Amino acid sequence: MSDWIKLEPWEGPIHQGCMNCPPVERTAPMDMMIAVGFGVAQVTRDPELVWSEPRDPQSWDELWTTADAERAAAADPDHDWRILLDAPLRMREYQRHGPGEWVLVASGPGFA
């Protein structure tokens, strides 16, 4: 069993990003695409990279959703599982707090 720290849910302001960006959810819905197009979209277990958005996906089927991350995490739950979405105008990070519960733990303006 791994020792990991369950982070507190993000209480600060949620950086929305562009006017056309979908709203930031405080809990990631299972159908949320783990993709940003330009930037970094990844799933980690502890500090280890488990999955990252392909640079040139040939189809939507190559992209993971929160449900895909949940399946991976459910098979090995005693770790710090995270979803990172870091795009030019906003950054979001979700941590798995329990079965089907991916909680927003960080939000920011992204890397640009």
For residue 63, being part of any structural domain is answered with yes
Q: What is the mean pLDDT of residues 105-109?
A: 93
For residue 34, being part of any structural domain is answered with no
- Encode pLDDT of 19-32 as tens digits: 777 778 899 999 99
For residue 60, being part of any structural domain is answered with yes
For residue 35, being part of any structural domain is answered with no
For residue 100, being part of any structural domain is answered with yes
- Encode pLDDT of 73-84 as tens digits: 999 999 999 999
For residue 2, being part of any structural domain is answered with no
Token couple for 4: 């990991």
pLDDT for res 17: 77
Q: Give the total number of structural domains in the chain.
A: 1
Range of the domain at 89: 40-108
Confidence grade of residue 2 (pLDDT, cut at 50, 70, 90): low
The closest alpha carbon to 27, from 78, 87, 92, 90, belongs to 92
The answer, yes or no, to whether residue 52 has pLDDT greater than 80, is: yes
For residue 69, CA distances in Å to 15, 43, 44, 64 come to 23, 7, 9, 7
DSSP 3-state of 93: strand
CA separation for the pair 75, 94 (Å, rounded): 18
For residue 96, being part of any structural domain is answered with yes
**Cβ–Cβ under 8 Å, residues 83 and 102:** yes
Q: Which residues contact 111 (CB under 8 A, 6 or more apart)?
A: 39, 86, 87, 88, 91
The answer, yes or no, to whether residue 60 has pLDDT greater than 90, is: no
**Cβ–Cβ under 8 Å, residues 91 and 106:** yes
For residue 45, being part of any structural domain is answered with yes
